[in-house]
A and B are shown apart, each in its own frame.
Chain A
Amino acid sequence: MEIRPIEFRPILASLRKHRIPAMLIVLEIALACAVLCNAVFMISQRVNDIHLPSAIDEQGLVSATLRGTDDKLVGSDIPRNLAALRGIVGVQQAAITSSLPLSHNNWGWSFGTSPDSALANRKNINVSLYFIGEGGDKTLGLHMLQGRFFNADELADSKFDTAPLPETHVVVMTRSAAENFWPGQAALGKTIYSKPYYYTVVGVVDDVLRPNVYTQNTRKSYDAVYFPMSAAGSKGALSYYILRGAPQDRDRIMREAEQKLADLNPGAVAKGQTYADIREKYFADMSSMAWMLVLVCVVMLAVTAFGIVGLTSFWVGQRRRQIGIRRAVGATRGHIMQYFQTENLLLTTAGVVVGMGLAFGINIYLMQHYEMSRMPWYYLPGGALALWLLGQASVFGPAQKAASVPPVVATRSV
């Protein structure tokens, strides 16, 4: 088979005659490319956020909050409640804590690394505080990387007085928090300060998310510090009962835990939730935004494709006579197909070049006005490739119709 270079000249000549429709296709593809690149980038960011890892056993975890309790009685109520919860069939571990990752219930404080760090120091790092009782590490499924969890004495002695920070001197922090406090150094044995309080790091755990996360700054999202807390000294700070069982039991455990807490504490309000629900709720807005972006992308691509089909079909109709003549003077069906496909390729390429510039511009604008990071470069060629494929797919039908024009058309008047 003879391989001929694709002839661009006749195509360009013909496009010059149909300048306006050609420009419209280019414009439509450019707009579609710009919107597509940015929308897909936004989708990918949201998908990343929704799946932010958190080193706890989310699948088997159940939470039951108990609010509106009497602070004076918690010292005896909490152990009684925990004992009752441990009696639920399928519960492997139960403990109490002050909050959970992604629960929106944030207790923040800022600490520094030098003994004179006061609360208002600008160099301080803001962290989320989790207060946790005995067995909390095992119930959550925390991964201890260095050091140890709190021992029985530390748990029993920690209590709140009048200050917003507990009277203890030990903390366990996440790997990210340790890295942010002491970059490149071992955190174990070091101390964080917020005058007049100070706490020594006895353990480092794998990254656990904060109750609220910073979607554009995931580094900050893991700055969490665990404090030991005794039931008697908790003054109402401990309201999240956490239970762990097999994932298939979690819904039943959740219902039974809520019922049990409500029965034991008639004056308080109990609410059960599986951890999977907590995560899903936290990111619900984000996931619906992602789905809506997907929908817009699909519909937009469909509209663009139909636009190309429509315009090309008309071109084919308009040029039946010319096609017939070309066929009569020796062009094969393949040549005709190739002609329309090349024409589409040229138009799409022009559109994609403009579109990539536009996409980049929109991204810069969004970065200035919204919480948006820079789009990685590969989104641009990715969007271009998608529109090339879309263009070729939508031109295929009309091109085939064009190729089927019989040469005899040349001898007839239209």
Chain B
Amino acid sequence: MFAYYLELALRSLKRNRVLTALMVMALALGIGATITTLTVLRLLSGDPLPQKSAQLFYPQIDPNAKEGYIEGQTKPDQLMAYPDAMNLLQAHRGTHQAAMALTQAKVMPKQVNARPFFSDAVMTTADFFAMFDAPFQYGGGWTAADDDGRAQLVVIAGFLNDKLFAGANSVGRVIRINDHDLRIVGVLKPWAPQPRFYAQDLGGRSYGDGDAVFLPLQTARAMEMGPQDTECYAAVPDIRHLETAPCEWLGVWVELDSGAAVADYKTFLDGYVKQQVALGRFQRTETSLLDLMGWLRQEQVVPDDVRLQAGLAFGFLLICVVNTVGLLLAKCLRRSAEIGVRRALGATRREIFTQFMVEAGIVGLAGGVLGLLFAELGLLGIRHQPAEYASLAHLDTWMFMFTFVVALVASLVAGILPAWRACVLAPAPQLKAA
């Protein structure tokens, strides 16, 4: 029976080639636009560390003056001052904890006549790699003792290792950074969480390539490397010594493995702030302990434009579906006589309904195939955009499947009204009119 409907549908679609092409085209454009924007939205709002994100938390406190504080409304600061970050780290309340800031590292290649270049760098503490599951190609990270001892060592990314050492095992070799010689202890495999959650608010970009250089915080500071972003909350007598200045420039992450551990940590954090208030260092008691995804949501890491584009594409798809409903309906109303004949010859309403839904489904599938083509074109266009996430825009299998589901659902929804109109037509008047 289905084969017969299929044949009828194809014949009917062939009869009005221009109209069929219009329907398929409109649906395909709507689907193409929707899938393109959804792919980008999914890419940007994705989980950067799916296996670990639920255990990673971002503590926030507020060292600002009392002035302007509104109980329950004022959010704590995004960054942390050095003394507080170190106090939280040294309390060792989480499975892992690390403080970090972004900086620029001037790398001087060994080759003769080679020019120095700047690379994105992270100055952080020992737990960084274990906490964020950063995978090593060669070697490993450093220890807390290296942090305290300002050890002259560094971990580099695979792409920097490729550039400087042609991909060979460079552990133990020396690299010249900011006019200091540092020993390489580890080389990372390609590692670039999207979005780069740990760089939020530290003055870096959110998407794109990973960082190239990772070095111990104390070591970097001793080399006078400064953070990308510094926020000061009181008069600064000496900006050279950021460690003692009333300035925030570090992000702190903690790994907490159970609900109980999270609750404990929050209590600890509240207690820490109350203690600082008692000491007269702090005036505000607000704290926050968001998990990774919660932190990204609060930071509104997905650009507004991307969400607007997705909304716009849905509006566009809606217009295309309404358009298809109209055209399908017009088509089926013209075929009243044919329906009358089929009904008179014994076709049931259900059979007429099915026939028209099959026709709509075919339009949908054709729209889906063409829509996929448009989506690929759209993504190709996006890859040529200047945005930092541009190179990541690729259609994945999940989105591939989703395209067809959207196409089929859109066309079947569009088909319901015409199919219902067709099946409720009374056969006799149609036959008479013919």
> Least Cβ distance of B377 to chain A in Å?
11
Q: Which residues of chain B from 310 to 357 have a CB within 8 Å of any chain A CB?
A: 312-313, 315-316, 318-320, 322-323, 325-327, 329-331, 333-334
Instruction: Give the residue name and chain of the A residue nearest to B309 (CB).
Output: A292
Type the 1/0 row for A272-306, where 1 means its CB is closer than 8 Å to any CB of B: 00000000010011101100110010011001101
The answer to whether A28 touches B322 (Cβ under 8 A) is yes
A289 (CB) vs chain B CBs: closest residue? B305
A266→B114 CA distance, assembly (Å): 9
Q: CB distance B322 to A31 under 8 Å?
A: yes
B210-254 to A contact mask, C-beta < 8 Å, 1/0: 000000000000000000000011111111100000000000000
A300 touches B319 (CB 8 A): yes
Of the stretches A77-85, A180-188, A309-317, the one at the interface is A309-317
Complex-state Cα separation, A258 to B331, whole angstroms = 67
Take A28-B322, A303-B26 as given contacts and tell me if A311 and B387 are in contact as well, using a CB distance cutoff of 8 Å. no
Q: Are B235 and A195 in contact (CB under 8 A)?
A: yes
**Residues of B contacting A376 in the complex (Cβ-Cβ under 8 angstroms):** none
Q: A122-B68, A269-B117, A318-B334 are in contact. Are A307 and B26 (CB under 8 A)?
A: yes
Q: In the bound complex, what is the Cα–Cα distance between A307 and B321 (angstroms)? A: 11
In contact, B233 and A119 (Cβ under 8 angstroms): yes
Most B CB atoms within 10 A — which of A27, A67, A162, A164?
A164
Would A288 and B386 count as touching, CB distance under 8 A? yes
Chain B residues with Cβ below 8 Å from A304 are: 319, 323
Chain A residue numbers with a CB within 8 Å of B29 are 299, 303
Is A164 a contact of B232 with CB atoms below 8 Å?
yes
A120 to B389 alpha-carbon distance, docked (Å):
36
Indicate which residue in B232, B304, B315, B334 contacts A317 across the interface (CB closer than 8 Å). B334
Task: List chain B residues, Cβ under 8 A from A318.
Answer: 333-334
Let me know if B316 and A24 touch, CB within 8 A: no
Counting CB contacts under 8 A, is B417 at the interface? yes
- Find residues 360-409 in chain B having any chain A CB closer than 8 Å to their own CB: 385-387
Contacts of B333 in A (CB 8 A): 21, 314, 318
CA distance A108 to B300 in the complex (A): 22
Scoring A residues 235 to 261 as 1 if CB is less than 8 Å from chain B, else 0, what string do you get?
A: 000000000000000000000000000
Closest chain A CB from B116 CB (angstroms):
6
- With both chains docked as a complex, state the minimum distance between the C-beta of B42 and any C-beta of chain A, in angstroms: 18
- Distance in Å: Cβ of B101 to nearest Cβ of chain A: 17
| Contact status A285-B305, CB under 8 Å | yes
CB distance from B393 to the nearest CB of A (A): 13
Query: Whole-angstrom distance between the alpha carbons of A293 and B179 in the complex?
Result: 48
Whether the pair B387, A288 counts as a contact (CB closer than 8 A) is yes
A42 touches B (CB below 8 Å): yes
Q: Is B93 an interface residue (CB 8 A)?
A: no
**Within 8 Å of chain A (Cβ to Cβ): is B426?**
no
Q: Known contacts being A307-B323, A310-B22, A318-B333, is A288 close to B385, with CB within 8 Å?
A: yes
Interface 1/0 per residue, A109-123 and B, CB below 8 Å: 000000000111110
Inter-chain contacts of B330 with A (CB < 8 A): 21, 310-311, 314-315
> Complex formed: what's the CA distance from A256 to B26 in Å?
52
Whether the pair A120, B67 counts as a contact (CB closer than 8 A) is yes
Give the Cβ gap from A268 to chain B, nearest Cβ, in Å: 7
| B268 within 8 A of partner (CB) | no
Contact check, A119 vs B234: say whether CB atoms are below 8 A apart: yes
Q: Which of B131-188 contact A (CB under 8 A)?
A: 178-179
Q: Are B316 and A300 in contact (CB under 8 A)?
A: yes
In the complex, are the beta carbons of B326 and A28 less than 8 A apart? yes
Q: A378 to chain B: which residues have CB within 8 Å?
A: none
B79, CB-defined interface residue at 8 Å: no
Q: Which of A152-179 contact B (CB under 8 A)?
A: 162-164
Q: When the two chains form the complex, which single residue of B312, B319, B326 contacts A310, counting CB atoms closer than 8 Å?
A: B326
Q: Which residues of A, 1-38, contact B by the 8 Å Cβ criterion? A: 20-21, 24-25, 27-28, 31-32, 34-35
Task: Out of A121, A122, A307, name the residue touching B327 (CB < 8 Å).
Answer: A307
A120-B233, A288-B385, A314-B331 given; A269·B239 CB < 8 A: no
Instruction: Tell me, yes or no, whether A334 is within 8 Å of chain B by CB.
Output: no
Residue of B nearest to A31 (CB): B319
Within 8 Å of chain B (Cβ to Cβ): is A377? no
A128 contacts across to B, CB distance below 8 A? none
Q: Is B308 a contact of A306 with CB atoms below 8 Å?
A: no
Structural contact, A120 and B64, CB atoms closer than 8 A: yes
A196 touches B235 (CB 8 A): yes
Cβ contacts under 8 Å, B64 to chain A: 120
User: Given the interface contacts A21-B329, A122-B68, A268-B116, does A289 sit within 8 Å of B309 by beta carbon?
Assistant: yes
Interface membership of A346, Cβ < 8 A: no
A68 at the binding interface (Cβ < 8 Å): yes
A194 interface hit (Cβ, 8 Å): yes
A262 within 8 A of B: yes
A28 → chain B, closest Cβ, in Å? 5
Residues of B within 8 A of A35 (CB): 312, 315-316, 319
A287 to chain B, nearest CB (A): 9
Of A120, A286, A304, chain B has the most CB atoms within 10 Å of the CB of: A120
Which single residue of chain B is at the shortest CB-CB distance from A288? B385
State the CA gap A77–B344 with chains docked (Å): 97
Q: Is A144 an interface residue (CB 8 A)?
A: no
A413 CB, min distance to chain B CBs, angstroms: 9
Q: Which B-chain residue is minimally distant from A271 (CB atoms)?
A: B118
- Listed A/B pairs (20) with beta-carbon separation below 8 Å: A24-B322, A24-B329, A28-B319, A31-B318, A32-B319, A35-B312, A35-B316, A67-B118, A119-B233, A119-B236, A120-B64, A162-B237, A163-B236, A269-B106, A288-B386, A306-B22, A307-B26, A307-B323, A314-B334, A366-B308
Residues of B within 8 A of A (CB): 19, 22, 26, 29-30, 33, 64-65, 67-68, 104, 106, 108, 115-118, 178-179, 232-240, 303-305, 307-309, 312-313, 315-316, 318-320, 322-323, 325-327, 329-331, 333-334, 385-387, 417, 421, 433
Task: Give 17 A-B pairs besides A25-B326, A35-B315, A119-B235 with Cβ atoms closer than 8 angstroms.
Answer: A20-B329, A24-B322, A68-B116, A118-B234, A119-B232, A119-B236, A120-B234, A122-B68, A162-B239, A267-B116, A281-B386, A296-B312, A304-B319, A307-B326, A307-B327, A311-B330, A366-B308
